[in-house]
Amino acid sequence: MSNFIIPAAKPVAIKITGTDKQFPVRRVYCIGQNYADHVSEMGSDPSKESPIFFQKNPDNIDTSGTFPYPSETSNVHHEVEMIVALQSGGSNISEQDAYKHVYGFATALDMTRRDLQGAAKKNGKPWEIGKAFEHSAPMGIISPLSQVGTMQTGVIALSINGVEKQRGDLKMMIWSVPKIIAYLSRFNKLEAGDIIMTGTPAGVGPVQKGDKLVASIAGLTTLEVVVV
């Protein structure tokens, strides 16, 4: 038995289509400002701003289909995003080799305390309090690359209570999945179990308790989440 002084946290895992096996999560990387229309709606200039990286914590992932409205905020936004799940990693991975490290893809949400993120940005402070909180990463089911391909194009959309709010296409990403993996692996040694949230198209906005969010990416399993 272990000699830990407290119980160790259980590993966070994501379901996979067509199997009882699960994908264990090691780290959660996120890219921001990866769709030009979303950069513009956030008040930045996509011709001047580069995508940026931040992280959530693995235990921010929630696969329950509910999103508890978080504390200390009155403006929580939805961001529909495709996630990439890595089956292997490394440092200085080339763009050409990037897909060899990808196990699969899923539909997810990057839920954001926009008011706190905005205040942090304005003051030049870190974003974590707006981004990395419990339940902030509702997550769908992973589809293996071997079944769905490299997912370079396809509609990505989100509706609330049946009304479409976000709609874009994966091909609109400023940095493609291979470019994201190559870039991140220059700074961090990527590892099996790491996931990357690849950014959101325009149309982000607030959610309210009782809202039903439907996040979809063509070819992947749809994610339905109720705000409670």
Which residues are at the interface with Mn ion (CB under 5 A)? 79, 110, 200
Task: Give Cβ neighbours of residue 14 (< 8 Å, ≥ 6 apart).
Answer: 22, 23, 25, 61, 63, 85, 106, 139, 141, 142, 195
Measured from the CB atom, is 185 or 200 closer to Mn ion? 200
Min separation Cβ 222 and Mn ion, Å: 19
Min separation Cβ 117 and Mn ion, Å: 10
Min separation Cβ 29 and Mn ion, Å: 11
Name the residue with tokens 């921010």: 60
Min separation Cβ 212 and Mn ion, Å: 20
The H or E element spanning position 129 is helix 128-131
Measured from the CB atom, is 158 or 181 closer to Mn ion? 158
Write out 180-207 in H/E/C secondary structure: HHHHHHHHCCECCCCEEECCCCCCCEEC
Measured from the CB atom, is 110 or 194 closer to Mn ion? 110
Q: Which two tokens stand for residue 68?
A: 């508890």
Helix (H, G, I), strand (E, B) or coil at 115: helix
Min separation Cβ 24 and Mn ion, Å: 23
Q: Tell me which residue has its CB nearest to Mn ion.
A: 110
Whether 40 and 207 have beta carbons less than 8 Å apart is answered as no
The type of residue at 183 is Y
Min separation Cβ 138 and Mn ion, Å: 12
Cα–Cα distance measured from residue 35 to residue 87, given in angstroms and rounded to the nearest whole number: 26
Measured from the CB atom, is 16 or 36 closer to Mn ion? 36
Measured from the CB atom, is 16 or 35 closer to Mn ion? 35
Q: Which residues pair with 85 in a beta bridge?
A: 104, 195
